[in-house]
Structure 1
Amino acid sequence: MPRATGPLAEALAHRTVVLDGGLSNQLAAQGCDLTGGLWTARVLDERPVQVEAAHTAYARAGAEVLITAAYQVGYEAFAARGRDRDATTALLHRSVALAARAAEACDHEVWVAASVGPYGAVLADGSEYRGRYGLSVRELAAFHRPRIEALLAAGPDVLAVETLPDPDEAEAVLTVLAETDAPAWLSYTVAGGRTRSGHPLPGAFALAAQAPQVIAVGVNCCDPADVLPALEAAASVTAKPLLAYPNDGSVWEPATGTWRAPGSLPSWPTDAWYRTGARLVGGCCRIGPDRIAELAREHGGPIM
């Protein structure tokens, strides 16, 4: 079956859609080296066949949306490693093409979501878990604009604006999206009932409430326990479909480049997430194909 033929926004109006899981942990499970500041972008650059294999693993598990390996691909980061703009643009295009190939080889409809990671991801120092970069909205928009333009030129089904720690960065990305007619979702990383930068969630979600390009809002790369309060905050300010793809509860330690794992894998109260309005649900860091397969079996399909 080819890639999904209808817009993702139409599907969300009448059924739940299952996202994929963490790309980094799946690449590591396949034996890939993710050391260095480029992280998954290193594998995209050096071993693209492994990226396609990771996408395929999630599609076979039942994922209906594959998020590309563009999260940490930035013009500035690759320029510092001697790559010109054309080479970086080609890498962004490759990220979409690899996910599209995996989608086209699958036996069910699959959408391709081009990852638009935060400014902090390109710094590779854990800044996406702090926010407050010291940049203006205009400066952040200038950072995001060329990458978004390059990704859109590759033809994804939707943009995955993800792991934003700060409403200022959300405002910047929304400014760029307003220059296009491209559909996108917008997802914050949160902790303790606030964005990672410490801003209240209702105001952060309200930024996207009136943006016609935004088809869903929610959270990712957070503790599963933080999902429901965040979804409730989003539902209080917008009627858009909600989304959630948390990690496994581990905490990222940027100084060592490792995850500090929880004592046990927490259960996910997905029924409560769906009752609150979640229509896109999957996993982020350290969530693999097995968990996505569970979600697909339990929650994929028409809204009950």
Structure 2
Amino acid sequence: MPRASGPLAAALAHRAVLLDGGLSNQLADQGCDLSGGLWTGRVLTERPDQVEAAHTAYARAGAEVLITASYQIGYGAPEAGVLLRRSVALADRAARAADHEVWVAASVGPYGAVLADGSEYRGRYGLGVAELAAFHRPRIEALLEAGPDVLALETIPDTTEAEALLGVLAGTGAPAWLSYTVADGRTRAGQPLAEAFALAERSPEVIALGVNCCDPQDVGPALEAAASVTRKPLLAYPNDGSVWDAAAGRWHSPPTPVPWDLAAWRSAGVRLLGGCCRIGPPAIAALAARLRTR
């Protein structure tokens, strides 16, 4: 069947849509080697069949949006454009093979992800809007050439990078969502969330905004800040509550699972809902069941 019968924005106008979960943890569970600076991009390069298999696992779990493996692909290497377009093609194949409507979201990760040193959780790279726009523009152009349904501007740590991304999109008409990574009621770079979300509110290309790759406990306050400045659909796809230790290259898990206040998030305006790091297909299947019962 076709991967989707209409624009994602149209679906969000009247119902909640289920995102997938963490691509890296699913690839690791499939036995893939994610070591090195490319992370999931290494599997995209060496074992594209495994990337498609991971997308398929999420589609079978009920995910309605598959996010591509382009998060950590920079644009310095000659093959970068090929890999970016490949990431969309693999998600597209999995979407078309699904037994339900599925959209493809092309991941546009932050500049810090390419550095592979955890700086996407700090922001403030020392680069200005023009420099960051110059980095992101060829990546976005390559992804758009591959024809995704939407761009996922995700795990953005500060407003400088958000401004750069929105500037690249301005006038293109390309639908996108903008998702910050947050902590303690502010962006990772420490900026007020209401100001950060107001940037996306002013962009006609942005069809939804919210947070990802954060502690579930940080979702509620962030959604309140977003709802104070926009009437656009909101989104949330947090982690499981673990904390990434970039120096050690490992996750530190909480002693007990961190609960998701799904009812409160939906009441706040969330229409795109899923998981990020360490949220796998079983959790997405459980989330699909919860959404069906509402």
Same fold (TM over 0.5): yes
Q: Which deviations, in whole Å up to 9, do the C-alpha atoms of 1:21-66 show, x marking residues without a partner?
A: 0000000000000011110000000000000000000000000000
Query: Residue 300 of structure 1: CA displacement?
Result: 4.7
Q: What is aligned with 2:242? A: 250
Hey, what does 1:65 align to over in structure 2? 65
Aligned residues with identical type, % of pairs: 75
Kindly report the root-mean-square deviation, in angstroms, between the aligned alpha carbons of the 2 structures.
0.9
1:91, 1:20 → 2: CA distance?
A: 21
1:144 corresponds to: 136
Q: Residue type of the partner of 2:53?
A: A
The TM-score normalised by the length of structure 1 is 0.95
With normalisation by structure 2, the TM-score equals 0.99
In the alignment, the residues of structure 2 paired with residue 164 and residue 300 of structure 1 have an alpha-carbon distance, to the nearest angstrom, of: 30
SS in 2 for 1:215: strand
- For 1:123, the equivalent position in structure 2 comes to 115
Return the alpha-carbon distance in structure 1 between the equivalents of residues 285 and 159 of structure 2: 33
- Equivalent of residue 180 in structure 1, options 167, 172, 178: 172
Q: Which residue of 1 aligns with 2:228?
A: 236
Residue-by-residue CA offset, 1:212-258 (whole Å, 9 max, x unaligned): 10000000000000001000100000000000000001111111111
What does residue range 137-286 of structure 1 map to in structure 2 within 5 Å?
137-286=129-278
Structure 2 residue 11 is matched with structure 1 residue 11: yes
Partner residue in 1 for 2:83: 91
Displacement of 1:179? 3.7
CA contact (8 A) 1:116 1:162 kept: yes
**Distance in 2 separating the partners of 1:111 and 1:226:** 27
* Distance in 2 of aligned mates of 1:213 and 1:182: 6
Aligned to 1:46: 46
Return the alpha-carbon distance in structure 1 between the equivalents of residues 171 and 248 of structure 2.
39
**Shift in alpha-carbon separation, 1:54–1:72, aligned structure 2, 3 A:** same
User: Which residue pairs with 2:74 in the alignment?
Assistant: 74
- Structure 1 counterpart of 2:55: 55
Gaps of 5+ in 1: none
Q: CA offsets per residue over residues 258-277 of structure 1, 9 Å max, x none?
A: 11111122111111000000
Code of the aligned partner of 2:3: R
Could you tell me how far apart the structure 1 residues matched to 2:73 and 2:3 are? 24
Contact 1:67 1:112 in 2 (8 A): yes
Contact 1:16-1:300 within 8 A present in 2 as well: no
Give, in whole Å, the separation in 2 of the partners of 1:5 and 1:155: 15
Secondary structure in 1 aligned to 2:16?
A: strand
Cα shift at 1:75? 1.2
SS in 2 for 1:218: strand
Task: Kindly tell me the number of residue pairs found equivalent between the two proteins.
Answer: 294
